[in-house]
């Protein structure tokens, strides 16, 4: 190695202020829970995606069901004076020219997602947030899966390498460039979302922030996208410091549970960490409007909808479940995660 390169490496090494963050504690099995949008409702049956005979038959089988979207939202039947129901179409109702995406099997029935562009009579498109009130958890998971896949297919049209139009695979699970033969699969974007705890003589506090788009009184967990080449642990430390100036104890980071988040295709990775100090947050106004420490008691009350000063996000979000587990007095949830 030439001496100038060696000296640059030595210089870099000297200037590195912190050692790499050590492996975190994985407690996934301790929580014994699945979050909203995590119930897929089908077996993805990936081995069938390349079976052209199966796909051809399944797309024509009168037992098969198609989840129909229009205007980027799932369609619901709106029978007069009854609750809306998720629309599940059989193959004869799908236009021949429509592309469809194989989602998987449930009880021997094949499920597909397809985009009809416009609603059909007696149906309306519903946002997934609104749809959660009419869906089982299995249906919500299936809709999240379908929505992310359809969004990717609608947006990802041209080859990033040679700019030619891409062709969807028969199962609708990837695209191929006819010009350079490259294959492209749907991408997900990983996001860290975390409970940051401070222990004081007055009790335990969690650091929450709010964005200007949040309804009045709503605060949520800090969160942010994981950057290229970054670990989950490093992202937790960086995002917390960037948004609030709070330094965390890197050895305290735990990865608790995760949730697919279909707007459009995130994977929310729920984490926990301890702050080094109980310090006043210094908010980055490009990221947050405000950040405050809230007591465990106040968060418990908010989980029950009984707080007059704090609203946390709704039950189907990972932020709600993180805060519920963190503030829960039950040994089956939070405490069980801390052996």
Angle of helix 318-327 versus helix 296-303 axis, rounded to 10: 130
Q: Is 306 in the site for Zn ion (CB under 5 A)?
A: no
Residues 6+ apart with CB under 8 A from 220: 208, 209, 210, 214, 312, 313, 317, 319
Stretch in the footprint of Zn ion (CB under 5 A) among 56-64, 163-171, 228-236, 293-301: 163-171
Q: Is 309 in the site for Zn ion (CB under 5 A)?
A: no
User: Judged by CB under 5 A, how many residues of this single chain contact Zn ion?
Assistant: 7
Token pair for residue 143? 């809709």
How far apart CA 55 and CA 237 sit, in angstroms, is: 46
Backbone region of residue 41 per phi and psi (left: phi > 0; alpha: psi in -120 to 50; beta: other values): left
Q: Is 251 in the site for Zn ion (CB under 5 A)?
A: no
Taken in order 157, 163, 169, 173, the sign of the CA dihedral is negative
| Nearest to Zn ion of 44, 182 (CB atom) | 182
In this chain, which of 32, 83, 127, 161 binds Zn ion, going by CB under 5 A?
A: 161
Stretch in the footprint of Zn ion (CB under 5 A) among 109-117, 144-152, 160-168, 207-215: 160-168
Contact status, residue 128 vs residue 241, Cβ threshold 8 Å: no
| Nearest to Zn ion of 184, 278 (CB atom) | 184
Q: Which of residues 45-74 bind Zn ion (CB under 5 A)?
A: none
Q: Is the peptide bond before 264 cis (omega within 30 degrees of 0)?
A: yes
In this chain, which of 8, 23, 120, 162 binds Zn ion, going by CB under 5 A?
A: 162
Q: Which of residues 175-204 bind Zn ion (CB under 5 A)?
A: 177, 179-180
Q: Shortest approach of Zn ion to residue 163 CB, angstroms?
A: 7
Stretch in the footprint of Zn ion (CB under 5 A) among 41-49, 108-116, 171-179, 249-257: 171-179
Tallying the residues shown for the chain, one arrives at 339
How far apart CA 127 and CA 153 sit, in angstroms, is: 18
Q: Which of residues 258-287 bind Zn ion (CB under 5 A)?
A: none
Q: Shortest approach of Zn ion to residue 228 CB, angstroms?
A: 23
Stretch in the footprint of Zn ion (CB under 5 A) among 103-111, 161-169, 220-228, 291-299: 161-169
How far apart CA 126 and CA 78 sit, in angstroms, is: 11
| Nearest to Zn ion of 52, 162 (CB atom) | 162
Radius of gyration of the chain (CA): 24
- Residue for token pair 């946002």: 127
Stretch in the footprint of Zn ion (CB under 5 A) among 16-24, 140-148, 158-166, 270-278: 158-166
Interface ranges with Zn ion (CB under 5 A)? 159, 161-162, 164, 177, 179-180
């Amino acid at each position: 190695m030439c001496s100038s390169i060696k000296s640059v490496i030595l210089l870099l090494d000297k200037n590195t202020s912190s050692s790499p963050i050590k492996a975190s504690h994985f407690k996934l099995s301790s929580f014994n829970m699945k979050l909203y949008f995590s119930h897929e409702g089908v077996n993805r049956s990936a081995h069938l995606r390349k079976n052209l005979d199966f796909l051809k038959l399944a797309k024509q089988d009168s037992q098969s069901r198609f989840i129909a979207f229009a205007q980027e939202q799932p369609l619901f039947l709106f029978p007069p004076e009854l609750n809306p129901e998720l629309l599940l179409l059989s193959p004869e109702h799908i236009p021949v020219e429509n592309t469809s995406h194989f989602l998987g099997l449930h009880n021997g029935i094949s499920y597909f997602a397809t985009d009809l562009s416009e609603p059909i009579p007696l149906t309306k498109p519903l946002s997934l947030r609104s749809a959660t009130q009419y869906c089982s958890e299995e249906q919500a998971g299936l809709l999240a899966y379908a929505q992310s896949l359809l969004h990717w297919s609608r947006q990802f049209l041209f080859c990033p390498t040679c700019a030619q139009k891409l062709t969807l695979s028969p199962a609708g699970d990837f695209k191929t460039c006819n010009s350079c033969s490259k294959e492209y699969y749907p991408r997900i974007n990983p996001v860290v979302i975390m409970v940051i705890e401070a222990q004081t003589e007055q009790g335990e506090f969690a650091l929450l922030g709010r964005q200007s788009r949040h309804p009045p009184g709503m605060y949520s967990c800090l969160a942010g996208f994981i950057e290229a080449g970054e670990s989950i642990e490093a992202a937790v430390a960086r995002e917390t410091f960037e948004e609030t100036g709070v330094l965390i104890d890197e050895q305290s980071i735990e990865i608790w549970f995760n949730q697919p988040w279909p707007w459009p295709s995130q994977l929310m990775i729920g984490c926990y960490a301890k702050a080094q100090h109980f310090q006043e947050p210094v908010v980055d106004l490009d990221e947050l409007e405000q950040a405050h420490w809230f007591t465990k008691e106040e968060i418990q009350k908010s989980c029950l909808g009984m707080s007059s000063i704090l609203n946390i996000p709704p039950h189907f979000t990972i932020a709600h479940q993180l805060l519920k587990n963190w503030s829960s007095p039950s040994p089956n949830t939070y405490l069980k995660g801390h052996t």
